[in-house]
Amino acid sequence: MGNACGVVEAQIVEVDHDYDFLSRKTGHMQIAALDQGALHSLDVGSLHHHDSHAHSLLEAISEKFFPAHDTRAGEIVANARKMCGIVGDEKDQFHSEWNGPYNRHPLLALLGRNSMAGVAEDLIYLARGVQQLVAMEPTITQARVPCKVFGDIHGHFRDLLLLLHDFGFPSGHGPTYIFNGDWVDRGRHQLEVVCLLFALKMAYPTQIMLNRGNHEDSAQNSHMGPKGFLDVCNAQLASYGQSVYQQISMTFEWLPLGCVISHKILVVHGGIGDGNWQVEYVEHVRRPLSHDALAAQPVLYNMLWSDPLAEDGCNGFGVHDSPRDNHGHLVKAFGQDVTERFLAINALDMVIRSHEARPQGCGYEAMHRGKCMRVFSARDYEGMRNDGAILSITQENSTIVVRPQVLRSLSKSA
C-alpha cells in the first residue's frame, strides 16, 4: 500500500531486538541485544530483525542545519550544540557533580549571558513564545516517522546534552523530537532543561513536540519543596524567580497531553488509565489546564499519572486503583487486556509512555506483549543506578521499528 508520494504506509509496529549505545571508552557506536529483564513476556529471539549497519547510517548526525524560526532561540540552540561537543569530550560524570562547560554556570553558558537579569528576560521570552506556539496545536498532536522520543529528564541537563550528542541533534529537518514530559523537579539543572527545550521548540516549531508530564504542574512544583521547580527558580533567579516561574507555569498549562506517530503509536507521559476513551475526544479538549482542571477530568489526569501493570505478575489484567494517590480511586493501574482493548478502539498499535524509573533498569521496557513501551532518559536517577534511554522510531518497508538508544549508567553493577 502506498500514497500519492510513493511512501509505503506502515502496517505494523515492532520493537527491535537490539539497542545502540556510544562507548565512552572508544568513542564508537556499539550495538547490543535488548535486556531480557526489560521485555517481560517477549522473547528477544522473536523480535523484529533488520540490518543494524543500515540503521546506524540512518542515525548519522547531519551537519546541515536549517535556519531557526526565531533568531534568539537559534542562538541558544547553537550554544547548546557547542555544549554537546564539550560534554561529549570531557570525562563522564554524574549530573549532580557537573558545574557546567569549563566550570561555567551552565545556564549562563547556554544563554550566553553574564547576569541573572538577562537570564530572566530570556526565559520569559521563551516561555511566552512557546505558549503561543502550543496554543495553536491540538491537545493531541500528530507526527510522522522518523521520530525520537525522550522520557523523563528531571533536571539532568548533562544527560540530555549527551543523548543529543550521541544520537543526533535537531537540525530543522530529519526526525521529529518528542519530549514526553517531566523536565523539572528533583534534578540539579531544571532551568537549563526547560530553557533548551523551549528554545528548540521556538527554533524548529514543527520538528519539536512537547508533551506535558505530571511534573509540569504548579501543585507538584511547590509540593516538591527544595527539590521542586518553584524553589529552584527562587534560589537561582532571586528577585526574578517568581515572575519567571509564573510565566513558565502558565506555559505548562497550555502544553499538549500526547502525540500520535504515523497514526500507529500514541506517546503520552503516564498511561491510558481505564482505557475506556478515544484519542479523538482528547484532541479537542480546551486548554489551559490547571491542576484542578486536570483532576476534574479522570481521562486527562490518568494520561499524566497512570501506570501499566506487569503482565508477569499475579494481577496483570484489568483496572486497579493506584498507590500513586494512596488508592484514592482517581489514578489507575492498567493491565495488558486494557492496553489491547484501548489500541483496538483507537486503531493504534502501541502506547509509548515514561513516568517510571526502574532500579538498575535499562531506560526502556517492553510490556503487554510489546504493545506498551516505557522510556526514561535520566540516568542514575535518585540513586537507582539506572541507564537513561530514548526511543528511535523509523520505518522499514511497511514496518515501524522502535529501537532503544541508551546512555549507560555510571554506577550500575557490571
**Residues with a known catalytic role:** 215
Which residues, 6 or more positions from 167, have their beta carbon under 8 angstroms from its beta carbon? 20, 22, 59, 148, 390, 392, 405
Which residues, 6 or more positions from 59, have their beta carbon under 8 angstroms from its beta carbon? 20, 29, 167, 168, 392, 405
CA within 13 Å, CB half, 169 = 22
CB 206 within 8 A of CB 174: no
Which residues, 6 or more positions from 307, have their beta carbon under 8 angstroms from its beta carbon? 270, 271, 322, 324, 333, 334, 355, 356
CB 316 within 8 A of CB 340: no
Among 272, 280, 298, CA closest to 368: 272
Beta strands at 265-268 and 350-353: parallel, antiparallel or unpaired: parallel
Chain centroid to CA 327: 27
Q: Is 341 exposed, middle or buried (0-12, 13-18, 19+ CB in 10 A)?
A: middle
* Alpha-helical runs (H) found in 59-115: 71-89, 106-111
Hey, what's the torsion of the CAs at 199, 200, 202, 203, to 10 degrees?
110
Q: Is 38 left (phi over 0), alpha (psi -120 to 50) or beta?
A: alpha
What is the distance between the alpha carbons of residues 366 and 369, in angstroms, rounded to a whole number? 7
Among 390, 404, 413, 397, CA closest to 152: 390
CB 155 within 8 A of CB 183: yes
Q: Is 50 exposed, middle or buried (0-12, 13-18, 19+ CB in 10 A)?
A: middle
CB 373 within 8 A of CB 350: yes
